[in-house]
Amino acid sequence: MGLRQIALGGLLAVTTAASVLSPRQNINPGPVSGDTFIHDPTVIKTAAGTYLAAYTGDNVQLKTSTDRTQWQDAGPVFPNGAPWTTPYTGGALNLWAPDLSFHNNQYYLYYSASSFGSSRSAIFLATSPTGASGSWTDQGLVIESFADSGWNAIDPNLVVDAQGGWWLSLGSFWGGIKMVAIDPATGKRADSGVPLAIAARPDAGGAVEAPFITRNGDFYYLWVSFDKCCQGAASTYRIMVGRSASVTGPYVDKEGRQMMQGGGSQVMSSHGAVHGPGHNAVFTDVDGDVLVYHYYNDAGTAQIGINLIRYENGWPVIY
């Protein structure tokens, strides 16, 4: 999610050697209009054919669209507040990095509660029959981290593997990206063991976060964001990806470098009036897989970015 980096002692953005997937990277976002401010977006296409987005904001914020282009604000997930999160937020209303999906005839929303620069964090689950503001029921704590955990329980993403198993990836800085098994019957952790490590940047100040896992063909793709978010037009966030034949890894980039050792192939970075693109999600629409992310415009305002994805030689290309 990136906001807590502000308190991490002025961390310098470290750019290590990373492969670039295609010279066609760094194209501009597709057209959007209306209420286009967003941060840490997640989007799902509903059964009615409309689009529902959730993003970081007070009590988690929602947007809707009928055409994937024109967006309008749709209120908070929790209009009456989320007091159960205050042990992690210190009373702040801002809740981070939601993740939307639809299973078991209901919408699932995983979301994060923390404070800047802290690994005393938690991921919660809420469910809804409609996805609308005020329709969400919090289902409680999924996983938490502590000051001495060595990892951070934020930035959740749920993926269902080819065998029907549920997995939640999560993490930011500290020990990197982790994964835990989820019970499909409850949406909660299936065990209480040590989370599995799937990506890290030990030589870059730990600057990796915002995991999102997708599946296409024979591969699972682990999307992450490298470097520094949340500095407006000075942000150095960039979208990276690796792949694996197994949902639990090991994930490698196009050059075969392990993502546990800082590997990752660059998909998009700052260019022109697009600053610090990152914290992406992917969903499938009638015209293919869709990449959604935030970036900062020249004025430093976070905007929704949307592009399509195609696959060439087993690797995603943005267009």
Per-residue pLDDT of the chain (319 residues; tens, 9 = 90+): 544 433 322 222 333 445 655 545 689 999 999 999 999 999 999 999 999 999 999 999 999 999 999 999 999 999 999 999 999 999 999 999 999 999 999 999 999 999 988 999 999 999 999 999 999 999 999 999 999 999 999 999 999 999 999 999 999 999 999 999 999 999 999 998 999 999 999 999 999 999 999 999 999 999 999 999 999 999 999 999 999 999 999 999 999 999 999 999 999 999 999 999 999 999 999 999 999 999 999 999 999 999 999 999 999 999 9
Annotated catalytic residue within 40, 99, 155, 227: 40
The pTM of the full predicted model, rounded to 2 decimals, is 0.93
Predicted local distance difference test score (pLDDT) of residue 116: 84
Question: Between the CA of residue 283 and those of 79, 155, 297, what are the distances in Å?
Answer: 26, 17, 24
Give domain limits for the chain: 3-12+40-318
Name the strand (E) or helix (H) holding 98.
strand 94-103
Q: Reduce the DSSP state of residue 260 to 3 states and report it.
A: helix
Q: Which token pair is 124?
A: 């919660």
Task: Specify the pLDDT at position 26.
Answer: 84
**pLDDT given for residue 240 in this prediction:** 98
**312 counts as catalytic:** no
292-303: pLDDT as tens digits: 999 999 999 999
Alpha-carbon gap, residue 211 to 231, rounded angstroms: 20
Which one from 99, 209, 227, 253 is the annotated catalytic residue? 209
Give the C-alpha separation, 74 to 16, whole Å: 40
Instruction: State pLDDT tens for residues 117-159.
Output: 899 999 999 999 999 999 999 999 999 999 999 999 999 999 9
Residue 153 C-alpha from the chain's centroid: 13
User: Max Cα separation, the chain?
Assistant: 49
What pLDDT is stored for residue 283 in this prediction?
98
Per CATH, the number for 3-12+40-318 is: 2.115.10.20
With contact defined as beta carbons under 8 Å apart, do 177 and 195 qualify?
no
pLDDT at residue 2 in the model: 47
Residue 209 annotated to the active site: yes
What pLDDT score does 25 carry? Answer: 65
